[in-house]
Homo-oligomer: A and B are copies of this chain.
Protein backbone atom coordinates (compact mmCIF):
# COMPACT_ATOMS: atom_id res chain seq x y z
CA UNK A 1 0.00 0.00 0.00
CA UNK A 2 1.06 3.60 -0.45
CA UNK A 3 1.35 6.40 2.07
CA UNK A 4 -1.91 8.10 1.29
CA UNK A 5 -5.22 7.32 -0.27
CA UNK A 6 -4.47 8.97 -3.58
CA UNK A 7 -1.16 7.17 -3.73
CA UNK A 8 0.55 10.49 -3.35
CA UNK A 9 2.59 11.29 -0.22
CA UNK A 10 1.07 14.34 1.40
CA UNK A 11 4.22 16.37 1.39
CA UNK A 12 5.84 15.84 -1.98
CA UNK A 13 3.10 14.99 -4.43
CA UNK A 14 4.89 16.32 -7.48
CA UNK A 15 7.70 13.84 -7.31
CA UNK A 16 6.16 10.57 -8.23
CA UNK A 17 4.24 9.65 -11.33
CA UNK A 18 2.57 6.53 -9.98
CA UNK A 19 -0.38 4.61 -11.42
CA UNK A 20 -3.68 4.92 -9.63
CA UNK A 21 -6.37 2.25 -9.83
CA UNK A 22 -9.63 3.04 -11.59
CA UNK A 23 -12.29 4.54 -9.39
CA UNK A 24 -15.99 5.12 -9.34
CA UNK A 25 -17.35 8.28 -7.71
CA UNK A 26 -19.18 6.36 -4.98
CA UNK A 27 -16.17 4.51 -3.66
CA UNK A 28 -13.95 7.54 -3.23
CA UNK A 29 -13.69 9.08 0.26
CA UNK A 30 -12.40 12.35 -1.14
CA UNK A 31 -15.37 12.43 -3.44
CA UNK A 32 -17.57 11.91 -0.42
CA UNK A 33 -16.03 14.95 1.26
CA UNK A 34 -16.52 17.04 -1.85
CA UNK A 35 -20.07 15.80 -2.14
CA UNK A 36 -20.73 17.20 1.29
CA UNK A 37 -18.76 20.45 1.16
CA UNK A 38 -18.79 21.05 -2.57
CA UNK A 39 -21.98 23.06 -2.65
CA UNK A 40 -21.97 26.81 -2.61
CA UNK A 41 -22.39 27.41 1.12
CA UNK A 42 -21.15 24.54 3.32
CA UNK A 43 -17.53 25.50 3.26
CA UNK A 44 -18.34 29.12 3.96
CA UNK A 45 -20.27 28.11 7.05
CA UNK A 46 -17.45 25.85 8.22
CA UNK A 47 -14.91 28.63 7.91
CA UNK A 48 -17.14 31.14 9.65
CA UNK A 49 -17.81 28.77 12.52
CA UNK A 50 -14.08 28.08 12.62
CA UNK A 51 -13.72 31.60 13.92
CA UNK A 52 -16.43 31.38 16.58
CA UNK A 53 -19.91 30.08 17.28
CA UNK A 54 -22.69 31.92 15.48
CA UNK A 55 -26.42 32.40 15.93
CA UNK A 56 -28.72 31.61 13.03
CA UNK A 57 -29.32 35.19 12.01
CA UNK A 58 -25.69 36.05 12.52
CA UNK A 59 -24.84 33.52 9.85
CA UNK A 60 -27.64 34.84 7.70
CA UNK A 61 -26.19 38.31 7.84
CA UNK A 62 -22.56 37.21 7.59
CA UNK A 63 -23.06 35.17 4.45
CA UNK A 64 -24.10 37.66 1.84
CA UNK A 65 -26.68 36.30 -0.56
CA UNK A 66 -27.76 33.09 1.13
CA UNK A 67 -31.48 32.41 1.46
CA UNK A 68 -33.07 31.18 4.67
CA UNK A 69 -33.96 27.99 2.93
CA UNK A 70 -30.37 27.26 1.91
CA UNK A 71 -28.90 28.28 5.25
CA UNK A 72 -31.22 25.93 7.08
CA UNK A 73 -30.60 23.08 4.67
CA UNK A 74 -26.85 23.59 4.84
CA UNK A 75 -26.79 23.63 8.62
CA UNK A 76 -28.97 20.52 8.82
CA UNK A 77 -26.66 18.68 6.44
CA UNK A 78 -23.57 19.66 8.41
CA UNK A 79 -25.33 18.55 11.57
CA UNK A 80 -26.06 15.15 10.05
CA UNK A 81 -22.39 14.79 9.23
CA UNK A 82 -21.44 15.69 12.80
CA UNK A 83 -19.41 18.62 11.62
CA UNK A 84 -21.61 21.24 13.26
CA UNK A 85 -23.42 21.20 16.59
CA UNK A 86 -26.71 22.98 17.20
CA UNK A 87 -27.61 24.07 20.72
CA UNK A 88 -30.85 25.78 21.69
CA UNK A 89 -30.78 28.20 24.59
CA UNK A 90 -34.11 28.35 26.43
CA UNK A 91 -34.40 32.11 26.46
CA UNK A 92 -37.05 34.48 25.20
CA UNK A 93 -36.79 34.91 22.33
CA UNK A 94 -35.09 31.54 21.80
CA UNK A 95 -31.44 31.66 20.75
CA UNK A 96 -29.93 28.92 18.63
CA UNK A 97 -26.18 28.62 18.47
CA UNK A 98 -24.19 26.77 15.86
CA UNK A 99 -20.61 25.72 16.42
CA UNK A 100 -18.09 23.30 15.00
CA UNK A 101 -17.78 19.89 16.59
CA UNK A 102 -14.27 18.55 17.25
CA UNK A 103 -14.65 16.65 14.00
CA UNK A 104 -15.57 19.83 12.17
CA UNK A 105 -12.65 21.61 13.77
CA UNK A 106 -10.26 18.89 12.64
CA UNK A 107 -11.46 19.49 9.10
CA UNK A 108 -10.11 23.03 9.21
CA UNK A 109 -6.57 21.74 8.90
CA UNK A 110 -6.81 20.12 5.44
CA UNK A 111 -9.22 22.81 4.31
CA UNK A 112 -6.67 25.38 5.34
CA UNK A 113 -4.06 23.60 3.24
CA UNK A 114 -6.37 23.84 0.27
CA UNK A 115 -7.03 27.46 1.10
CA UNK A 116 -3.32 28.20 1.06
CA UNK A 117 -3.02 26.58 -2.34
CA UNK A 118 -5.99 28.55 -3.59
CA UNK A 119 -4.52 31.85 -2.47
CA UNK A 120 -1.10 31.02 -3.87
CA UNK A 121 -2.38 29.95 -7.28
CA UNK A 122 -5.61 31.86 -7.75
CA UNK A 123 -4.00 34.06 -10.37
CA UNK A 124 -2.99 31.05 -12.44
CA UNK A 125 -6.54 29.74 -12.82
CA UNK A 126 -8.25 30.84 -16.04
CA UNK A 127 -6.67 33.65 -17.94
Chain A interface residues (CB < 8 Å from chain B): 4-14, 17-20, 22-25, 28-41, 43-44, 47-48, 50-52, 61-65, 80-83, 102-103, 105-119, 121-122, 124-127
Contact = CB atoms under 8 A, between A and B. Distances in A.
B65 A47 contact: no
Given A29-B122, A34-B43, A126-B81, A9 B112 contact: yes
B108 A30 contact: no
B80 A126 contact: yes
A39 B53 CA distance: 29
Contacts of A112: 4-6, 8-10, 13
B125 A82 contact: yes
Contact of A106 (B41, B80, B117): B117
Given A7-B51, A23-B44, A29 B118 contact: yes
Contact of A41 (B5, B14, B25, B111): B25
